[in-house]
């Protein structure tokens, strides 16, 4: 006698294999990255697309820990927000549902007073 394993519910949507930034999100992130490179603040970046979140890491020097991580956690859409800006020490600097609002924290660092 063979026992068959139960089949998954036929109407359930499968989980995505990985989370990624879409074209509009990458356009915003890479636009900010280009401005920061032109200002001499950033030099390198890395992207990681995992099963539960996506990460865009920014480096001042390639052999260092990332200065900032821009993270996308889709499961947090009903709570704190999908996007998070994490500092080099692991401290969450900003969370939100809107990527431009989260990135605005880094835009402020680009504007410097002229003395």
Provide the residue-wise pLDDT of the chain in tens; the chain has 115 residues.
Answer: 555 555 555 555 555 678 888 899 999 999 999 999 998 889 999 999 989 899 999 998 777 789 999 999 888 787 888 999 999 888 999 999 999 999 998 887 666 555 5
Q: Does any domain span residue 14?
A: no
Beta bridge pairs of residue 70? 56, 85
Q: Does any domain span residue 67?
A: yes
The Cα–Cα gap between 93 and 106 comes to 10
Q: Does any domain span residue 103?
A: yes
Output the pTM of the full model. 0.77
Full domain range(s) for residue 43: 23-110
CA-wise closest residue to 45 among 34, 73, 87: 34
Q: Does any domain span residue 60?
A: yes
| Helix, strand or coil, per DSSP, at residue 74 | helix
Query: Considering its fold, how many domains does the chain have in total?
Result: 1
């Amino acid at each position: 006698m063979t026992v068959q394993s139960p089949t998954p519910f036929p109407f359930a949507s499968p989980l995505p294999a990985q989370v990624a930034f879409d074209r509009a999100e990458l356009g915003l992130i890479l636009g900010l990255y280009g401005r920061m490179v032109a200002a001499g603040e950033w030099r390198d970046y890395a992207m990681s697309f995992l099963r539960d979140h996506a990460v865009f890491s920014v480096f001042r020097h390639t052999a260092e820990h990332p200065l900032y991580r821009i993270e996308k956690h889709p499961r947090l859409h009903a709570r704190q927000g999908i996007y998070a800006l994490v500092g080099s020490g692991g401290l969450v600097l900003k969370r939100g549902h809107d990527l431009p609002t989260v990135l605005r924290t880094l835009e402020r660092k680009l504007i410097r007073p002229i003395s």
